[in-house]
Amino acid sequence: MTTIIKPSITEPQTRRLPMGRIFKHLYVQVIVAIILGIAFGHFYPTLGEQMKPLGDTFIKLIKMLIAPIIFCTVVSGIASMQSLKRIGRVGFKSLLYFEVLTSLALVVGLIGVNLMKPGVGMHIDPASLDVHAIDAFTKAAHDQSVVGFLTHIVPNTVLGAFAEGDILQVLFISILFAFALQMLGAAGKPLLAIIDLVAQAFFRMVKIVMYVSPLGAFGGMAFTIGKYGVGSLGAYANLLLCYYVIAFFFVFVVLNLVAKIAGFSLWSFLKYIKDELFLVLGTSSSESALPRLMSKLEKLGCEKSVVGLVVPSGYCFNLDGSCINMTVLAIFIAQALDINLGLGQQITLLLILLLTSKGAASVTGGAFITLAATLGSLDVIPAAGLVLVLGIYRFISEGGALINVIGNGVATLFVAKWEGALNLDTLAAELKSGSVGEPQGAVSKETV
């Protein structure tokens, strides 16, 4: 009897299937888009600059959704809390954490740039600087002050805050509305249910927008490389090396220590949110990751009420990356202009930045404008020195945006653990599984 052996068709399928599934994941698509954007901007710089609308449009799509998402999540989170005392406790713990970590970020940046001295030896004459190159930033900086920041919190109209997409103003309105809704008691429950449903609809809109995120990453990276060129990195190699060494130290030492105290692995968390990190890398905007970050933190076991309160407020008051940016750039400019800052002057700079950095989220390009305002108020380092870092700032701001996202994710988990609002079993299981949400084309109620 002859045995006929049929050729197996499962082996080729098993070889092709993983590759097909890999390319369905958002982070893979974004990585490919970033690589293509770098190559396109390098070989076709003029066309690369013209790709800017792709990145800008994607960021506008995300910003369009951020205000209603923040409103819905903050209102739902606060109004669903049974105790006003607990709301105050979570808010106090969040602000205390933010203040400590942003102070540490400023100190780490200050110590690092003084040790590595990236600007020493440049010997640039301040009189040779083109002050007109930063006119737009210095003009905006005139409005940046402590009093201006406090008065800016309150919008002219309720709808105006949503129209402008100002996170701080939307957060203020959301907190007021949430308290008012809670005061209604049982009568406000139907409205709260509607707000929860509206939030789900907006998160579905985020899922739809994410389909074009690779185009946004491609456009943003092509523009950056096309306009500033890879060659510009070499001219400022010392500054970039200094900045990213400090950034890595802050993330893998300071934030890693915070993560250990909270009882989770920072590295596992970074792998869990890699979709969002690559998205931020491609668009140079931490806001592009905000909606998905909130969704993933809930999936990790954080109570919805804590996520809804900590993440939006963190995007206003916990900008660790922006704080590092400002200290490193300020001291670099002083070193490049041969301005010798004493210990007292540097401490004064740090204290002023500790206050002014809280307003960095209230304007576009906030860290750069806030730094301009700070230098203008000191009269020690000329604000015109910002011209020296104008061309390289885009590459530095990407690092700052990444740290801001990581920092706010860690902050939420830490505050949730501190408050007893974190399911440690869920956290461990999710991080162990390495889940990063479902492939780009999948539909899920849990993941955006």
User: Considering only CA atoms, which of 317, 322, 324 is closest in space to residue 250?
Assistant: 324
Which range, 48-62, 100-114, 285-299, 351-365, is most confident? 100-114
For residues 13 and 258, the model is more confident at 258
How large is the average pLDDT for residues 420-425? 92
In a domain, 337, yes or no: yes
Lowest mean per-residue pLDDT among 79-93, 118-132, 166-180, 207-221: 118-132
User: Considering only CA atoms, which of 304, 296, 264 is closest in space to residue 279?
Assistant: 296
List b or e across 406-423, with b for residues whose CB sees 16 or more CB atoms inside 10 angstroms.
bbbbbbbbbbbbbbebbe
Residue 19 CA to residue 173 CA, distance in Å, equals: 47
- DSSP run (H or E) holding 329: helix 320-336
User: Considering only CA atoms, which of 71, 243, 94, 250 is closest in space to residue 173?
Assistant: 71
Per-residue pLDDT at 233: 66
How large is the average pLDDT for residues 397-413? 92
Which range, 183-187, 214-218, 360-364, 386-390, is most confident? 214-218
What region, left, alpha or beta, does residue 101 occupy, with left being phi > 0 and alpha being psi -120 to 50 degrees? alpha
Residue range(s) defining the domain that contains residue 385: 23-433
Confidence of residue 92 (pLDDT cuts 50, 70, 90): very high
Residues 6+ apart with CB under 8 A from 87: 78, 81, 309
Share of the chain above pLDDT 70, in %: 81
Per-residue pLDDT at 114: 93
In a domain, 438, yes or no: no
- Give CA torsion, residues 121, 122, 128, 132, to 10 deg: -130
- Give CA torsion, residues 374, 151, 68, 215, to 10 deg: -20
Residue 247 CA to residue 139 CA, distance in Å, equals: 29
- DSSP run (H or E) holding 276: helix 274-283
Average pLDDT, the chain: 81
Per-residue pLDDT at 424: 92
Per-residue pLDDT at 232: 62
Per-residue pLDDT at 73: 86
User: Considering only CA atoms, which of 66, 312, 291, 298 is closest in space to residue 172?
Assistant: 312
Per-residue pLDDT at 326: 87
For residues 222 and 448, the model is more confident at 222
Q: Tokens 């299981």 correspond to what residue?
A: 429
Residues 6+ apart with CB under 8 A from 21: 439
Angle at 423 between CA 297 and CA 78, to 5 degrees: 60
Distances (CA, A) of 153 to 68, 113, 148, 166, 322: 17, 33, 9, 9, 20
Task: Answer whether 391's CB lies under 8 Å from 160's CB.
Answer: no
CATH number at residue 85: 1.10.3860.10
How large is the average pLDDT for residues 352-381? 68
- DSSP run (H or E) holding 61: helix 52-80
How large is the average pLDDT for residues 83-112? 90
Is this structure's pTM higher than 0.85? Answer: no
In a domain, 10, yes or no: no
Say which DSSP state 254 is in. I
User: Considering only CA atoms, which of 320, 319, 377 is closest in space to residue 348?
Assistant: 377
Lowest mean per-residue pLDDT among 147-161, 196-210, 300-314: 147-161
Say which DSSP state 390 is in. T
In a domain, 446, yes or no: no
pLDDT by residue (tens digit) across 122-163? 777 777 665 555 555 445 444 555 566 667 678 888 888 888
In a domain, 5, yes or no: no
Cα four-point dihedral sign 336, 342, 346, 352: negative
Per-residue pLDDT at 254: 96
Per-residue pLDDT at 361: 52
Task: Answer whether 64's CB lies under 8 Å from 244's CB.
Answer: no
Q: Tokens 């994710």 correspond to what residue?
A: 409
Task: Answer whether 281's CB lies under 8 Å from 405's CB.
Answer: no
What is the tally of structural domains in the chain? 1
Per-residue pLDDT at 82: 66
What DSSP line would sit under 349-374, residue for residue?
HHHHHHHHGGGGGGSTTHHHHHHHHH
User: Considering only CA atoms, which of 31, 38, 32 is closest in space to residue 222?
Assistant: 38
Tell me how far the alpha carbon of residue 165 is from its chain's centroid. 16
In a domain, 12, yes or no: no
Examine the pLDDT at 19 and tell me if it is beyond 60: no
Examine the pLDDT at 441 and tell me if it is beyond 50: no
Examine the pLDDT at 14 and tell me if it is beyond 50: no
How large is the average pLDDT for residues 263-276? 93
Length of the chain: 448
For residues 354 and 308, the model is more confident at 308
Examine the pLDDT at 405 and tell me if it is beyond 70: yes
In a domain, 9, yes or no: no
What region, left, alpha or beta, does residue 338 occupy, with left being phi > 0 and alpha being psi -120 to 50 degrees? left
In a domain, 14, yes or no: no
Q: Tokens 């499962």 correspond to what residue?
A: 10
Per-residue pLDDT at 436: 47
Residue 27 token pair: 């982070």
User: Considering only CA atoms, which of 313, 319, 311, 317 is closest in space to residue 368?
Assistant: 319
Residue 133 token pair: 């190159």
